[in-house]
Structures are given as C-alpha cells and as structure tokens.
C-alpha cells in the first residue's frame, strides 16, 4: 500500500493522533508516514516495540536510519537509549530487539548504494554548534551527495531567513513548537515540504527538530544550501 507517495505534495501529519498499525512481527506496531511499496522499498515510519519484542536477523539492502525517541533499542552491536541516532548502510544487517520497549523514527532505503558509512551517535552527549542566526544551534548527523541531516534546537523567538528547498525537506518536531507562515507545528508533527518549496520558519517558544533536506528529488541535493543546517 502506498502512503503519501506523491512527493510533489506537502504533507503535515499529527503523528500523536494516528492509530498504531500491526507489523508482521507481534509486539511491533507502526505509524506509517510515507510508503512507496508494500513491505519493501523507501518508507518512513514511527515504530513502537512492546517490551520483549525482537526481530530475527535481517538485511537492509537500501540502508536504514533510526532515531531513538523513547526507551532503549538494542541489537548485537549495542544498546541505544533515547537520543541515539543510528545509520546502517546498504547491505548491512542486524538483529533488533527491545527488552524494555522503545519508540523509533525509522527511514528505510533512502541511502545511495555507495554510501557505506555506519554511525552510532548519542545526540544528548554530542557537541552542538552555533547556527547561522542567533538562538539556533545545530547538530549535524549526516551529509552525503547533497542530502543533509541534522538536529536543530531553536531558542525562544528564533527566526531564520526564507528557506528554499530545491531537493525537498522533511521535519519531525521533537520538542516545543515550530512555526512558519502556514501554521504552528507542535511536538509530534511530521512535515514533508516538496522539492522547490520555500518557507520562513521560526519558533516563538523554542523547539527541537529533526530535519533532512535534499532527498526528495534525485540530483536536486547537489546545490542544496540551507541556513537550517549551516553552522557558523
């Protein structure tokens, strides 16, 4: 089943209001945000593991990206509490589980086959960098082939200049409220702005967001520049 598969349309979802859907594995549920084929190919989901849930070992031919939102995620490589960001390259495999339960943002099959970097980053212990405007701090997570991923923390009242996104933009609001000229987006909101879109984001009260740019149109990321993800 295809979900939000038209990349030329803007999508805004209140993920906290979405129903959980069963996955093929008992104890693991999903809130699918976008999907381009049934149980294969590119997909973005929130995934919830009940305590004691576990997958058998499996491969990720197109790579996998995970942000641990709550609880502790586990595989044979380690234990990853809330705040960890993981990147498993194309062709890699693992045996995931969660003895105590966890909540994840999971992106599948977005990586180029030649992008073979593996990463395990504790974002809560990492060194944040000043952004290009006062009040904005940036934690770069990944950059490859014009696709850039980061966490951004906005102090109260922070505003950035007009953002143009030739390769599109994806945002998950983790804390607080992000705003732009089209509305306000509290924690739990997932946005996907299409290639060629533009907006002027700000945060009156402050917020923390996950953001990925340049990945929604092939070849468009090479000239991507964004005050969002730049550091001073």
pLDDT of residue 91: 86
CB contact set of 17 (below 8 Å; sequence gap of 6+): none
pLDDT digits (tens, 9 = 90+) for 64-120: 999 999 999 999 889 999 999 999 999 888 899 999 999 999 999 888 889 999 999
Instruction: For residue 220, name the pLDDT band (cuts at 50, 70, 90).
Output: very low
Interval 3-25 mean pLDDT: 95
CB contact set of 125 (below 8 Å; sequence gap of 6+): none
The CATH 2.60.120.10 domain(s) of the chain lie at 18-122, 129-223
The fold of 129-223 is Jelly Rolls (2.60.120)
d(CA 141, CA 41) in angstroms, rounded, equals 23
pLDDT of residue 231: 79
> What is the 3 state secondary structure string of the chain?
CCECCCCCCCEEEEHHHCCCEECCCCCEEEEEEEECCCCCCCEEEEEEECCCEECCCEEECCCEEEEEEEEEEEECCEEEECCEEEEECCCEEECCEECCCEEEEEEECCCCCCCCCCEEEECCCCCCEEECCCCEEEEEEEEECCEEEEEEEECCCEECCCEEECCCEEEEEEEEEEEECCEEEECCEEEEECCCEEECCEECCCEEEEEEECCCCCCHHHHCCCCCCCEC
- pLDDT(201) > 90: yes
Which region among 118-122, 165-169, 225-229 has the lowest average model confidence (pLDDT)? 225-229
Q: Are 203 and 177 in contact (CB under 8 A)?
A: yes
φ, ψ (nearest 5 deg) of residue 116: -110, 20
- pLDDT(221) > 60: no
Dmax of the chain from CA atoms? 47
- pLDDT(223) > 50: no
d(CA 102, CA 141) in angstroms, rounded, equals 21
Query: What CATH number should be reported for the domain whose range is 18-122?
Result: 2.60.120.10
The residues facing 177 across adjacent strands are 186
Interval 119-136 mean pLDDT: 96
Instruction: For residue 40, name the pLDDT band (cuts at 50, 70, 90).
Output: low
> Dihedral sign, CA of 111, 64, 193, 226?
negative
- The count of other CB atoms within 10 Å of the CB of residue 66 is 22
């Amino acid at each position: 089943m295809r979900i939000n598969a038209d990349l030329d349309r803007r999508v805004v979802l209140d993920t906290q209001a979405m129903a959980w859907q069963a996955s093929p594995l008992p104890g693991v549920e999903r809130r699918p945000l976008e999907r381009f084929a049934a149980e294969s190919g590119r997909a973005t989901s929130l995934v919830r593991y009940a305590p004691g849930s576990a997958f058998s070992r499996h491969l990720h031919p197109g790579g996998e990206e995970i942000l641990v939102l709550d609880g502790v995620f586990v595989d044979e490589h380690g234990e990853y509490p809330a705040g960890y960001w993981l990147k498993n390259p194309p062709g890699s495999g693992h045996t995931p589980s969660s003895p105590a339960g966890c909540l994840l943002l999971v992106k599948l099959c977005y990586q180029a086959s030649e992008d073979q970097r593996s990463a395990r980053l504790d974002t809560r212990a990492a060194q944040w960098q000043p952004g290009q405007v006062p009040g904005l701090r940036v934690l770069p997570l990944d950059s490859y082939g014009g696709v850039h991923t980061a966490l951004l923390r906005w102090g109260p009242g922070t505003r950035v200049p007009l953002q143009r996104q030739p390769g599109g933009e994806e945002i998950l609001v983790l804390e607080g409220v992000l705003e732009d000229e089209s509305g306000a987006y509290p924690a739990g909101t997932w946005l996907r702005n299409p290639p060629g879109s533009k907006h002027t984001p700000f945060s009156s009260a402050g917020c923390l967001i996950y953001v990925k740019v340049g990945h929604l149109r092939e070849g468009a990321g090479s000239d991507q520049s964004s005050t969002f993800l730049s550091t001073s």
